Every structure is written in structure tokens, then in C-alpha cells.
Amino acid sequence: MNHRPFALWLAFAAQALALAAPAAAQGLRPSQPGATARPPARVAESGPRPADYIVAVVNSEPITNNEVRSRMARFEQQLAQQGQRVPPRAEFARQVLERVISEKAQLQLARESGIKIEEGSVDLAEQNVARQNQIEVAELRRRLTADGIPLAQFRQELRDQIFLTRLRERELDSRVRVSDLEVDQFLREQKNSNDPSTVEINLAHILVAVPENATDAQAATLRAKAQRVMERARAGEEFAKLAREASDAPGAATNGGVVGLRTADRYPPLFYQAVEALPVGGVSDIVRSGAGFHVIKVVEKQKGGPGGTVVQSHARHILLRTTPQLTQAAAVARLADFKKRVEAGQADFAQLAREHSQDASAPNGGDLGWAGPGLYVPEFEEAMNSLAPGKIAEPLVSRFGVHLIQLLERRRAALSPREQRELARNMVREKKLDDAYAAWAQEVRGRAYVEFREPPQ
């Protein structure tokens, strides 16, 4: 196939797996007395797909060789697209098998704990993946089929990641507290830090995609195309125009190739290394990744962290809380209807919020005021950050209910000392949550009964 199958979906899937990976399986049953630990089963590495067999059992749930191979293929593609090296094959297979074990055990715990996931939540997750890929859901499904990924499998994986997210929230969110001393220490450390996580950059990039099985001659032709694009960009030609004309990256036609302001550690290392020494406005040399050839421009660069300035968003929303009388699916459908009516000029967003929203902001037409990073729950903030001013997101499910979000405006603002401390507190809390998750997951993995199986001879 000429298209790279779902770079953004693969990144999404890998990110979701990473959530479950560091600490593995929640044990549902302690190790049985007298059970002998065996080394992980060998996973078939390449060549024709063999008959499937069980490589491990987590409590009573099997993991098959083909399941691990499929997961390995996805990680390999994601690493290639980010320009990162794949570990040695045997080590890579062990790492992926351990991740699958971890995920299985955590999912078992989530289900035994009574966590329920409605179809509406899976529908919205599917819509989010489509939106991130700048395509409609119907096109997403068509491409999944073309890439040999059954829709049922894709939706089950989305459901599993929602399970893991809700389990993490329930188990860990209430455990983490941040003291004033920890905030003071964090602020002191940030002042002199050169860590990429404290540098914010906004990059625009143009991708000249290279087909997976391209010949050397084809690759050379495509590199020459990227070279011409780079020379035109360095000569001062408008980068957004070049992106619309030449880029194969999703969304380039509408966003001009601009990725958005984020900390440097959230970019692929290959990208950050290419622009680290460049000034604002600088254009990189050609960068080769598993996806093809990239030309990257530095749009904005600044010291990040809790000091200085931040991008703030002014949004409003309508919140519907689910009840036995109002299911999640019904709430989604109602808000989707509100969205259509507002966009068609048949209704006013603020009036709908005053009449229907179940949030404290309802009397103000759903207006949430100005907010900096970290103020809202991640899923709400991600949807809001993806919007252009004046646009309305698709209905979004969070732990509070179902939201309809409209971004009114965006600005860069200086932070007051109190706001700097609050932002620092949120950043410390996120770090402590990650550490708490790793420790919790290791504990859960230790309690799981895992039996490794040898491949058939």
C-alpha cells in the first residue's frame, strides 16, 4: 500500500499501551505455592506466519504468539516513524510480551472491580482517533480494513485502554498529594534546567512520504523532491503554502504543517535533534524517518516550565451528567444535535448552556473564563486544544459526564506568582502520579499468576 497505515493511530495505541506497560499486571491471584518460574516463552520472530500457540497464561487468560507478533509489528512501525532504533529482536519480543502480560492483568482487575464501559465511550474514542488523523470515521474504518485490522479488534483495543485509564484514575488519583516544599524545590530546579521537557517549541513540517517497499531509485527521486522543498523554504517561500502543495502528512492542507506548541520531549527525538540549534524561523536539513523525508521549520521556541508565559484558552461548555434516565449514548446524541443547531445558526450556544448544562458555569452561558495548561482533566484539555477559535468539538466523555466544548479565543499571557506556583504544583502532581503508577503496577504484576509456555516442537 502507498499510504502509511495510521501513524497517529499507531502512536495512540502505543501511548495507551505505555500507560499499562511500566508496571505490569495486576495480580488477581498470588503465585501458587511450589510454582516454578520459567523463562519467558520464545516468540516466533519473522517469516511465514506459523500456526498460533499459547506463549503465556495470565491467571486463566492465554496470550498467543500471534497476539505478541501483531503488537511487535505496531511498535516497530511507530519506532520507525519516529526515527528510533528497534531493540534486538529477542529482547524486543520479551519486552512486548511483558507489556501484554501487564495489560491483561490490569484489564482483569478493572473488570473484576466492576468498571463498566458503555458503547458511547468507545464510539467517542473512535471519533477522536479519526479526528486526530484528520479523516471521517467511515474513512478510518476503510483504512483499517485495507490494513488488515478488523474493526471489532480495533474497537476492543479502544475499550481496553478506556478500562485502563479509569482503573488508574480510581486507584491512584486520590493517593497523590503535593506539599508546598515540593513546589518550592521544583521551581528552584526549573530555573537552571536544560531538560527538553522545560523547552517549548512549535514546529511546522513537510513530509515527503516514501512507500514501504520503495526502490533505491524511487527513494532518490523523493529525496530530490524534499531537497527542492527545503531550498524553497530556506529562500523565504511561505512554509504553509509549501506544506499544502507538497506534504503527505495528515492535515497539512488545513494546518499548513504546523504541529503546535509543546515541550520538546513530546516531539520525536529525531525532530528535536534536527532543530535544537536552529533559531526561530530556521529550516532544518532533510530528516529521514521510517515514514519518509521531513523538512522542519521552527515556528516558535521558548523556555517552558512554570515561569514566564503560557498559552491560555477561553472556552465554554455544556455538561450533561448521565443518569438512569439519561444514558451516555443519549447525552452524546443530544449534544451532537446542539452542535448541529449552533453551527447551522439555529441556536445560540450560551442560551443552550443556560437551559441545559448541569455545570456551575450554566448561568454564565457555560463560560469557563481563561484557563492555562493543566487546569482541566486531560481528555477535556486535549479536545479544547485541538480547536481553532470559534469551533465546537464533538461531544466528549469525561469522568464528570458528557461535554460539548466551544473554544472562544486563545492568548499568550504572563503568569502571576500564584499562577506559576499552581502550574508547578500540577506538574509535580503529574510526575508523582507517573511514579505512583509505576510502583502500583509493579506490585500488581507481582501478585499475578503468570505461566510461560514453551512453543510446540
Q: What is the CATH number of the domain that holds 129?
A: 1.10.4030.10
What pLDDT is stored for residue 194 in this prediction? 60
Q: Are both 221 and 320 inside the same structural domain?
A: no
Phi, psi of 260 (to 5 degrees): 115, 155
Distance CA 75, CA 71 (A): 6
Domain count, the chain: 3
Q: Which three cell numbers stand for residue 211?
A: 512507500
Q: pTM for this one?
A: 0.58
pLDDT lower than 50: segments of the chain: 1-38, 46
Q: What is the pLDDT of residues 196-223, one digit of tens each?
A: 556 778 888 899 988 878 899 999 999 9
Q: Is residue 186 part of a domain?
A: no
Q: Is residue 39 part of a domain?
A: no
Pairing of strands 401-414, 309-320: antiparallel
Last-in-domain residue among 303, 322, 355: 303
Place of cell 485509564: 165
Owning domain of residue 110: 7-26+52-174
Q: Are both 361 and 247 inside the same structural domain?
A: no
Give whole-number Cα distances, 237 to 230, 274, 281, 424, in Å.
10, 20, 12, 40
Give whole-number Cα distances, 211 to 9, 33, 290, in Å.
18, 53, 10
Nearest to 8 by CA among 110, 98, 140, 96: 140
Q: Are both 93 and 150 inside the same structural domain?
A: yes
Q: Is residue 1 part of a domain?
A: no
Q: What is the CATH number of the domain that holds 271?
A: 3.10.50.40
For residue 58, the SS3 value is strand
Distance CA 352, CA 1 (A): 46
What pLDDT is stored for residue 13 in this prediction? 40
Angle at 93 between CA 87 and CA 99, to 5 degrees: 105
Place of cell 488477581: 28
Q: Is residue 294 part of a domain?
A: yes
**H-run or E-run covering 145:** helix 137-146
